[in-house]
Amino acid sequence: MRIGIVNDMPLAVEAIRRALAQEPAHRIAWVAGDGAEGVACCQADLPDLVLMDLLMPVMDGVEATRRIMAQTPCAVLIVSVDIEQYVNRVFEAMGHGALDAVNTPSLTGQSGGAVELLRKIHNIGWLIGQSSIRQTSLSTASPSPSAARRLLAIGASAGGPAALALLLKQLPRDFNAAIMLVQHVDEVFAAGMAYWLAGEAALPVRLARDGEQPQTGVVLLAGTNNHMRLLRNGTLTYTEEPRSHVYRPSIDVFFDSLVEHWTGEAIGVLLTGMGRDGAQGLKNMRSRGFATIAQNQASCAVYGMPKAAAELQAAKEILALERIAPRIVELFG
């Protein structure tokens, strides 16, 4: 990844440089000495990731993060001294879009800070689709994914993040299908949601990239305000059409693309949410011969979309949230 560093302490910058040098896939794009300079650098040369210090005299990391996310959004990782003492400011920065926080590594290398920094960068790389990072560089690296013949498609809206977290947490690390998530969430928040889900699940979670294929054992979240579709050649794409759909990304649009183009096994799941998006698509999946599941009323935060699916008889099974993941594992053998 191309990485920008925003830090006013030369020793801290040197410690970060040494840590990044352990991973040849990382390149330093620029170094800014304060938050204002970091904002300007992002406008002139947007990197894949910004390593942002919290405590700077001209413009602190919280305000710099806010401005970057408002003007030139990109991944931001807070890298600062003693973040445990400044947890409120860390949460402020995360509220503006920062994905995570880690202590600045030590120049002596005795604290293990370099390993932790590289682990955080590795996870963010998965999130934003920079998967060229060597998987062997960290002890926590995931095995290389393989093209999928089984696919789990999940749609959710209001109440969805918590429901998705519980469902994904119940799926095993060796789950033998690709997982696609369509959650009604603005693209500004999609990256943060994927990162949060990655911390809840045993499987890697990141945003779906245009042109890639669903991969076994990898959870991909629709990451833009356009609709996500599966194409005839098995790759994913984002499209503005159909413009008439109120919800973006639309669950119906993605489910219908599976009906049209997916040639393997598939399970469609519709979770908590307001409105009717996903109900007709789930019915079309059932008509196509795919297994379909809807969340039951008692376990829904908002019983809208699953209710519409039940009324259309779109779901072959209606289950409590905690029973959905075990049933999926059963269906996929």
Lowest pLDDT segment from 15-24, 58-67, 92-101: 92-101
Tell me, yes or no, if 184 is annotated catalytic. yes
Annotated catalytic residue within 157, 250, 257, 299? 157
95/154 Cα distance (integer angstroms): 26
User: What fold does the segment set 2-137 form as a domain?
Assistant: Rossmann fold (3.40.50)
58/201 Cα distance (integer angstroms): 39
Q: Mean pLDDT over all residues of the chain?
A: 89
**What residues form DSSP beta bridges with 230?**
236
Question: What's the confidence (pLDDT) of residue 77?
Answer: 93
Q: Give the SS3 label for residue 274.
A: coil
Where do the domains of the chain lie? Answer: 2-137, 146-331
Cβ(75)–Cβ(94) below 8 Å: no
Tell me, yes or no, if 157 is annotated catalytic. yes
The pLDDT of 129-148, averaged and rounded, is 45
Tell me, yes or no, if 261 is annotated catalytic. no
The pLDDT of 62-88, averaged and rounded, is 89
The pLDDT of 224-244, averaged and rounded, is 93
Query: Class for domain 146-331, per CATH?
Result: alpha beta
Annotated catalytic residue within 60, 184, 250, 256? 184
**What single-letter amino acid sits at 284?**
N
Please give the span between the terminal C-alpha atoms of the chain, in angstroms, as a whole number: 38
CATH topology identical between 2-137 and 146-331: yes
Is the pLDDT at 153 greater than 80? The verdict is yes
Higher-confidence residue of 9 and 135: namely: 9
Is the pLDDT at 132 greater than 50? The verdict is no
324/333 Cα distance (integer angstroms): 14
Q: pLDDT of 4-28, one tens digit each?
A: 999 999 999 999 999 999 998 899 9
The pLDDT of 294-320, averaged and rounded, is 96
The pLDDT of 299-326, averaged and rounded, is 96
Annotated catalytic residue within 53, 60, 277, 299? 277
